[in-house]
Amino acid sequence: MDFMKLLKSLEELLYEVMVMLVFFPRTLYLTFRHPQRMMDYADTELGDVQSDQYNDTLSPPLFLMMCLGLNHLVELALRTSDLSVLPHFLHDPQNLLIFRVFIFSLLPLVLSLRLMAKLGIALDRETLRPVFYSQCFVTAPIALMIGMATMLWQVGDANAGLVAHAIFWGGLVWYLSQQVLWFRTKLGCGYGVALANALGGIFAAFVLVLLAGMVLGFISAAEKAP
């Protein structure tokens, strides 16, 4: 009986892995083509019963993690990163991936909190979830593009560098424009106010990333100290 349960679990695991391989490119395509629609879709899907949620796409947090995971796998395969400059505990690929997920999750979190504060929505686990999920949809592609650009920069080739700049700055413009449209729709404000909110949220997230980097720097210095 236990053996049959194990087989059933393996069947489900295999199916879920194959489903992710199919729905990852679909979700990425839909997010690039209809980003605002996908952000609204994240809200509506959470209103369904759990078994019916995200039947035709990946869930937003999983989508974000898969984009970061794809970057991570390519980076490991190409060996483009110098991990020696990082603290020792980040030399482990698993720890490095977890840290990157944490860093990129700050963007959807901070922007979600900013919108909720502007709308006067009480903060709890249930009110934060739909806003956070919406943000994860558009954070995933920018995470993928930043990772691609970083790897191309590390190649050291001039042409690769030009492509890296195009991907990086194009991705940032795309991401900022989606945030402006999102704040404008949700707050019912003009483009100027929406831009200020988008830039304010992104800047706050960037400050948190810098603080995390400083903490890592202190850890790295402490590890190297005699």
pLDDT tens, position by position, 80-135: 666 666 677 777 778 888 888 999 999 999 999 999 999 999 999 889 999 999 99
pLDDT at residue 198 greater than cutoff 80:
yes
- Tens of pLDDT along 10-50? 777 788 888 888 899 999 999 999 999 999 988 787 765 56
Is residue 96 within 8 A of residue 83, CB to CB? The reply is yes
Please give the C-alpha separations between residue 52 and each of 31, 55, 59, 89, in angstroms, as whole numbers. Answer: 20, 6, 11, 39
Residue 190 confidence (pLDDT): 93
What pLDDT is stored for residue 14 in this prediction? 82
Which of 159, 163, 167 lies closest to 142 in space, CA to CA? 167
Q: DSSP letter string over 210-223?
A: HHHHHHHHHHHHHH
Q: Which residues contact 95 (CB under 8 A, 6 or more apart)?
A: 89
| Owner of token pair 């900013």 | 114
Q: How confident is the model at residue 215 (pLDDT cuts 50, 70, 90)?
A: confident
Please count the other Cβ atoms lying within 10 Å of the Cβ belonging to residue 90.
18
Phi and psi at residue 150, to the nearest 5°: -60, -45
Distance CA 97, CA 101 (A): 6
Pick from 110-119, 151-160, 201-210: least confident:
151-160
- Of 221, 138, 120, 214, residue with least CA distance to 182: 138
Lowest-confidence range among 50-54, 170-174, 190-194? 50-54
Q: Determine the pLDDT at residue 47.
A: 64
Q: How far is CA 40 from the centre of its chain?
A: 17
* Predicted confidence (pLDDT) at residue 66 exceeds the cutoff of 90: yes
d(CA 8, CA 6): 5
Tens-place pLDDT, residues 157-172 = 788 889 999 999 999 9
Q: Residue holding tokens 């899907």?
A: 45
